[in-house]
Each structure stands twice: as structure tokens, then as C-alpha cells.
Amino acid sequence: MTEARTGVRNGAFHTGTYRNVFREAGYGEEEIAARLAQTWRELFEEGDETRIYYETDDGMGYLLDTGNLDVRTEGMSYGMMMAVQLGHKDTFDRIWRWSWQYMHMKEGPGAGYFAWSCLPDGTRNSNGPAPDGEEYFALALLFASHRWGDGEHPLDYGAKARELLSVCIHKGEDGAGDPMWNPDNKLIKFVPSAEYSDPSYHLPHFYELFALWADPADRPFWQEATEASRAYIRLSCHPETGLSPEYAHYDGTPNDERGYGKFFSDAYRVAANIGLDWEWFRADPQQPAIAGRIQSFFADKEPDDYRRYFIDGTPLEEKALHPVGLLATNAAASLAAGGELALETVRRFWETPVRTGERRYYDNCLYLFAMLALSGRYRIWMPERG
């Protein structure tokens, strides 16, 4: 297997072996597989109170943000990653066709990016992109290319991924638009026009793979972005609680100019990202400690009392909008955290069903990702050897 550039070489990328933390917590392989299949069905196939995926009569499909009644690049790219991990090619292609048809911008300052929000009929709510969607689109497409092979446009997955990654870092060089990564510090932006970041957007484990499979000329950039993002996560996570803000300045300090400098919905994903980065690459020896701090902070808190917090842990009055999602990401951090608390956090998640009701979309996306990660099924799909 191709060597990565950093860290101790005993992550799943190097060994090909993925931990099944559910099994370590005492669950049987058959019940784990059944639970994962059930979760897919609840989100993608059945149950008006749980599903978030809907198919259209013209051979496409979309994931609905059930709280806002729109379709977001976040959810569409998440759905593609879930589908490629579980081998659902038809669903993957339906979601990608919808994204390409309605979200991909062919002209204007955002050309090459994807409009972050549309109505279910495809009408755009915005012509601006959101970088977390782009990075998930790119890696899901690369995995699809490696798992299933490329097809005819727009199912030429590998080419589409490399085109998108090129746009993300070169946009604006001709004077039109802005790149999604700051070209100097190599940090992903909150949006292309903003000069600050969102810690939950930082996916160094994705960038490791972009550095292998993007256009050759762009690979050094992704190598630098990998290191920059790991360092940024360390900076933005509080040294005692492990909590990070939703928005942060480039030095990692909370950016509260718009009220998003606290630990709230976006920031939940940081714990899961740390867990998966450690599982795949084990490149940053500080990650287990950060994951452990996050789990320790929430160890004595009940999900129905999760709140918005200052990153030092001071609670605010506002309750969490997505407690199931927070529970899921804290459990996913067990890929990096160790000890009995990590297993207890996993068991607590296992005992929690998927969310129902109007706010279920975000929680259930994070839920299925945690199911994949903790069952050892969130995997790196490598290109076939010639």
C-alpha cells in the first residue's frame, strides 16, 4: 500500500485493518451488521419519521434537511460518502446526478463550485458554496472511482473529483472568485470570501488522500494542507475541555463576530473527525488526548441537558438542537480515545435510536457516520492496481 508522508505507520491506511469498536464494547458481529443495515434503511428507504433521502421520478435523489426543508451540499455529499462506503451505487449515482444537475454552477463567480442550498425542486436558494460539501464530494467521488470504476459524464467520478479539487485551490487566480483554501496558510475557509475558518471543516485524513490522487501539480499543496489542518485542530480545541468553536480565526481562537464562537452544532463534528483521522493515519500523537478530553467533559451530562458552551466548558442557557448528533460524534471519538470511558460512550450511543421528527437530518447523518466508523466500515477505497 502506498506510504503516507507523516506519522507512525500503523493506521488503517498502512495496515488495511480497521477497528470494530462495537465488537470491543461487547456486541456481536451479526448484530452490528444488522444494526448498520437497519440504520441505512431508516434513513434511506423507510419510515416517515426517520428517513432523510427521497427519490425523484427522473432517476435522481436528494437528502432533505428536514428542519429547514432544503437540500444542502453538506447532506448530498454526506449521502454519497455513506452510499459508497456501504456499496449502494444506484443511490450514489442518483444523489450525484441531482447535485450535478441543480447545484453545480457552470457560470458566474462561483463557476466550478456547488450552490450550498436548493429547494427540493432544484431551485437555488443561494449561488454561494460551502466548503464542507466540496471536500466530501471530492473524496466520495474518488472512492467511487476506485470502487466501481468511472462511467460516462457525469459519472466520470475521478475526473470530476480532480476538477473540483483544482477549482477549490486555484479559483480566483484569474481574478474571478475566491479559493476555498487560503493559499498562504493552507487552511480551509468558512466560505471562499471569508478569511476565517470552521474547525469542523478540517479533514486532514481527506487531504492525505487528495495528496495522492489529485492532479499531480496540486499534490504538494494537499500535503501542506494536511499538516496545517492537524495543527489547526490542536490550536482550536481547548486545552482542558477539548471543545472547539463553530467559527475560529486562523490562529485557532474563537470568532464570535456573528455569535458562532461557542461550542455548538457545527463543532460537534470535530470529535468524529479526530477519531477517523487517528483510525486512518495515526499521524498526530496529540489526538487521543483531545478526544479523551471531549469525552470526559460530557461524561456526567445527559443528552437532554446538552447545551451551547463556551469552549472552556461554561454552559449557556440554550439547549443543544442536535443532542443525538453530539452523542454520535462523541462516540466516534472512541477511535482515538482509550479506556473504559471510550467504551461506555460507545455503549451509550448504541443504546440510542436514530432521531425522529423535524430536526432529524443533521443528527441522523452524524449517527450513520458514527455507525460506519465504530463498526470498522468507514474505509479508504484504494485504486485498483494495474
Residue 241: predicted pLDDT = 98
Range 52-61 average pLDDT = 97
CA distance 270 to 247: 12
CA distance 325 to 36: 16
What are the cell numbers at 298? 460530557
**pLDDT at residue 6 tops 90:** no
> How many CB atoms sit inside 10 A of residue 156's CB?
14
Q: What mean pLDDT value characterizes the chain?
A: 96
**pLDDT at residue 136 tops 80:** yes
**Alpha-carbon dihedral of residues 84, 87, 88, 90, nearest 10 degrees?**
80
**pLDDT at residue 3 tops 90:** no
Does the active-site annotation cover 74?
yes
Report percent pLDDT > 90 for the chain: 96
Residue 129: predicted pLDDT = 98
Range 269-293 average pLDDT = 98
What are the cell numbers at 362? 443533521
Name 51's Cβ contacts closer than 8 Å, sequence gap at least 6.
Answer: 42, 43, 44, 45
**pLDDT at residue 20 tops 60:** yes
Burial of residue 274, with CB atoms counted within 10 A of its CB: 0-12 exposed, 13-18 middle, 19 or more buried = buried
Place of cell 474518488: 142
Enumerate long-range contacts of 41-49, CB under 8 Å, 24 or more apart: 42/354, 42/364, 43/354, 43/364, 43/368, 44/79, 44/88, 44/91, 49/356, 49/357, 49/360
Please check whether residue 122 is in contact with residue 97, taking contact to mean a CB–CB distance below 8 angstroms: no
Does the active-site annotation cover 150?
no
Residue 47: predicted pLDDT = 86
Residue 4: predicted pLDDT = 40
CA distance 46 to 17: 32
Residue 124: predicted pLDDT = 98
Range 364-378 average pLDDT = 98
Residue 9: predicted pLDDT = 72
The residue from 42, 208, 266, 277 that is catalytic is: 266
State the fold for domain 26-375.
Glycosyltransferase (1.50.10)
Residue 384: predicted pLDDT = 81
**pLDDT at residue 7 tops 70:** no
Range 355-366 average pLDDT = 98
The residue from 74, 132, 134, 208 that is catalytic is: 74
In the chain, where are the structural domains located? Answer: 26-375
pLDDT band at 385 (very low <50, low <70, confident <90, very high): low
Place of cell 437540500: 71
Q: Alpha carbon 169 to chain centroid distance?
A: 19
Q: Which of 12, 24, 31 is nearest to 340 (CA)?
A: 24
Nearest 5°: the CA angle 182, 223, 246 is: 45
**pLDDT tens across 202-245, in order?**
999 999 999 999 999 999 999 999 999 999 999 999 999 999 99
CA distance 173 to 107: 16
End-to-end CA distance of the chain: 13
Q: Which of 336, 330, 376, 321 is nearest to 349 (CA)?
A: 330
Range 338-363 average pLDDT = 97
**pLDDT at residue 278 tops 90:** yes
**pLDDT tens across 157-189, in order?**
999 999 999 999 999 999 999 999 999 999 999
CA distance 247 to 260: 6
**pLDDT tens across 103-123, in order?**
999 999 999 999 999 999 999
Name 217's Cβ contacts closer than 8 Å, sequence gap at least 6.
Answer: none
Model's pTM, two decimal places?
0.97
**pLDDT at residue 8 tops 90:** no
